[in-house]
Chains A and B, each alone.
Chain A
Amino acid sequence: MGVDLQYFIEGLTTAFHPMNILWVLIGGFLGTVVGMLPGLGPATAVAVLIPITFGMDPTSALILMAAIYYGAMYGGSRSSILLNTPGDGSAIAATFDGYPMTRNGQAGQALTISAIASLIGGIFAIIGFILLAKPLASFALRFGPAEYFMLFLFTLSAIVSLSKGNMVKGFIAMSIGLMLSTVGIDLQTGVHRFTFGIPQLSEGIDFLVVIIGVYAVGEVLYNYLNLDRLQNKNKLGKIGITREQWKRSKWPIIRNGPIGFLIGVLPGAGGSIASMLSYTTERQLSKHPEEFGKGAVEGVAAPESSNNAASVGSFIPLLTMGIPGSGTTAVILGAVIMLGMRPGPLLFEESPEMVWTLVNSMFLGNILLVAINVLLIGLLVKILSTPPRILYPLILVLAFIGTYTLSYSIIDFYVLVIFGIFGLFMKLLKFPIAPLILAVIVGSDMEQNFRKSLVAHDNLSSILFASPVTIVLLILTVLSVSYPFILSAIQKKRANKSA
């Protein structure tokens, strides 16, 4: 697909229609707010707003829903950074260094860098969209069961390798996550696994409940144990970032925009995987990996750039093939069909002006969102000066509300509390949480793809070597697990030599 200048300009003028600018603003703001709340992600926000879009022009409805989506990508990391309670899977990576930055009194700077990184990542992805939408869509099609299995395997191995020095604990956490992901109906056979006759469990344990439980509830419980020692030492710090910080984040932001974008294009990957992979990539490339996890500014910048780019990328399969690339785009697809529009392979030919309007509105929306988010920083950090005795009960309330909105079921409350206690013990015993969560997110897809690829390929080795893509992913997987060992072996040798 080349860029048709006429449609591009037409789209630009429609996007700048005052009404559409208003929708971008409303959507962006709503998305930011909803993204901040634990459990209320973009998919829920869009779903709740579907009745409002009924009377709207389809283009405006699409603009509004897209704005909510990437708005939530901006907002999602706010609570990760300030409270260590991510609102969604794609905001988890922001806790790794964002929360330590807050503890170091750099909350304002962490929020600023995350907004800037999101902007640049988003812009990269939009440019990628304009130039590469069609070829990328056909590339994504080549990802079959074997390729997805290897991608998920690589992501898991990368995240386990993060828990350097404590890989055993990382593996244990991951294994528990994989076990949890087997709960529910097995798609390939229809057998109920570990559902104990509870119909609510037949669809599996929603990974968002696990996230809210382990992070939000676990964090509250953990802080409750330390309530007497807890003081408000978290200061806002400066909002403006220093030249040194910019220098350190510049390349991570630029590198990870494209990474996130490409992963977003794959239907079935998405923001969580994009941001996690970006974080691990940056850490391995970094000259001072020891600072990661202790408040390294690039550890905030990289995943933020990546997950926003992924949200833009996930529109490619939707708009070029009518296939939703993420949970949120699936809801958006349902909504626009109700409006009489059918995003599909013909959309680009039949209503190009609509696609270009959307793309241009994303451009505009990203810029507006940075403004919204930077302006909100002053207000947001007030959270930090809220006394813990008020703040933590509030987080608990939000956690329960967020959980209820996922499937309107009381059973999830029990699951939430169980995982809250579980999360508390993980924190007390110093188990890494990320491998557990990621395993819950990808576990079921990974297993189903493995089983499907067994039908297609007969045995394990032909899965591993099914295509160039799987071979590259296999090499990366082996490297990511062995890299820390190789590194320490080299260091030992050097130390021996110098000694």
Chain B
Amino acid sequence: MSKSNKPIVWGPFAAGGTVTAFLTPVLTLLALFAAMRFSPDMFTYASMHAFASNWLGKLIIFGVITLSLWHAAHRFRITLFDFGVRADLVVATILYMIAAIGTVSTIFSLLSI
């Protein structure tokens, strides 16, 4: 038996699970409120833009979005397997591709701010 390379995907999955459990739902809700202009001044466009212009802000946004994406991809892969979809390689490739595209486009959108 040789050691598995599963940690490559499990690391982001576990970290993403923590983020998804504690942060993502709240952030989604706040973003929705902000989009509806139903939010305190802290979430005005100007202050959000300022946050995303800052390197630390970019890093935090990048972390939250990409970790959530990788978590969702891996979770969905396991769920599909449990529901009887046994074409694991195909499923894994498609889902991780989506997460990878999301990661790359997050980088580009953050760099363009």
A and B: bona fide binding partners: no
Interface residues of A (CB under 8 A from B): none
